[in-house]
Structure 1
Amino acid sequence: MVTHSGQSLATTNAAPLNQNSKSPAVVNAQLKQDFIPIASNNPVVTANTLARNTINGTNIEATGARPRKPCNCTKSQCLKLYCDCFANGEFCHNCNCTNCANNLEHEEERSRAIKACLDRNPLAFHPKIGKGKGKDGDGDRRHNKGCNCKRSGCLKNYCECYEAKIMCSSICKCVGCKNFEESMERKTLMHLADAAEVLPYTFVTSDVVGETCVCLMARAEESEKLKLPSVVQERMVIEEFGRCLMRIIDSAHKTK
């Protein structure tokens, strides 16, 4: 059954942000912790978070969820399944589409398009990401139809599997796929993506900076004692900085 959940985006009032604000004492206590978690379990975001998480001119909602990505359809009138709004059973809202008919003003035309899609495929509007069948009836999340990527290696957000943070499966028709368990490219990319979710000041503290400088100075002194060429000395310091940076990223990743 197709719902009009997209329309609710324009009418739902955001919850007040000050209901879950923390006192200065609580904030100070958190700053004294050994680490700060990367992802908060609290779905309510503060005004500061809203201000710094602006996406394409639209702020993150008060529930902490990202707003739906606007479509950019130009020829389909947003009445084809490759329009994400239409495929999700939602009206277009604040989209960049042209000659759109996926709205209340074209309800009759939209209903005919929905019926035509369901006649061709009764599961046309079912979620693309579902659960696979395991031995006990349960399974991991998987793409019900599989992706068809050709050039991205399935490591870009226009791969529906990668965007949903799941690995490609045997039903995918992708070419040159790197979105699988043993893929070093995928591990590196996901590792950096996790680290990027945290603002630098949450784990690059003054103590961390100080320790990093000590390591760099020790490496520089070592290279000078060995009387190595200046180019080699510079390379040794840069490599040491890279190792320090990876340790910082690893530490932040483990707090998630």
Structure 2
Amino acid sequence: MSNGPEAAAQDGAGAAGAGGTAWSGRAGAQSFAAVEAATDWLLGYPFVFRALSRRIGAGQVLVDYGCGPGKVAGHAARLLGARVLGVDTSPEMLALARSAGTAVAEYHLVRDGRAACLPDGCADAVMCNHVLASLPTGEAVHGVLTEIRRLLRPGAPLVLLATDPGCTGTEYATLRIGEPGAVYGPGEPFTVRLRRTDGSWAEMRNHAWPVDRLPGLLEDAGFGEVAGHRPSVDEALVLADPDLVRSRPWTAERTRPPLVVITATAA
């Protein structure tokens, strides 16, 4: 489980639940950690952090469910002042996270779909970035969401970052989702191309969970107050890193933003 289309393909990219890991083994973890994920850092993570900042305070517990090599978890810990607990199904991903010289979060392994070392209601908030795309069935999605619900205290928020599988074939700065003209139903596999930091490209299999299906999946798992937002480049101008904003024209991201931030509250 792991973070990003560039993460279900990249930083949260082991799959924290049923269905296996997207980047398994040591080589897979290292490959995942080398994905650039610029589109995520423009239109995804800054908006996840903003949503969390409205609901969580310094010193409170934030779980990053599907933390991968820990880049997003570490950034959240520094930015929000929260105590961040990263969880993932991949021991190799967690080893990378713990070995980072700037590691500021704690990391725990998910086994058999459960973060057994974390008690019920331990989290004041959970973020879950690009994990659902690694899950092939509705049952697997339900399993991950119900485990997240177990970790959250009642009334606490979940912030979910997902790639819209309807944005097929568009060449974004650092990814392409599926094939041009293709339509993917719930759980159907498709290929995502991800740009590495060395300029080469990696391909991985994701699973389509259409944006309009997400509210129902969340409600079935015990969440309410579900709302969605599709971040735009204009909004990112005041949230994302200025150097990143200036690094590219972001033509496709302006025309057809591919990421959606879903917020929900544990019932």
Which structure has the highest helix share of the two?
1
Normalization by structure 1: what TM-score?
A: 0.27
Which structure has the highest strand share of the two?
2
Normalization by structure 2: what TM-score?
A: 0.26
Higher relative contact order (CA 8 A, sep 6+): 2
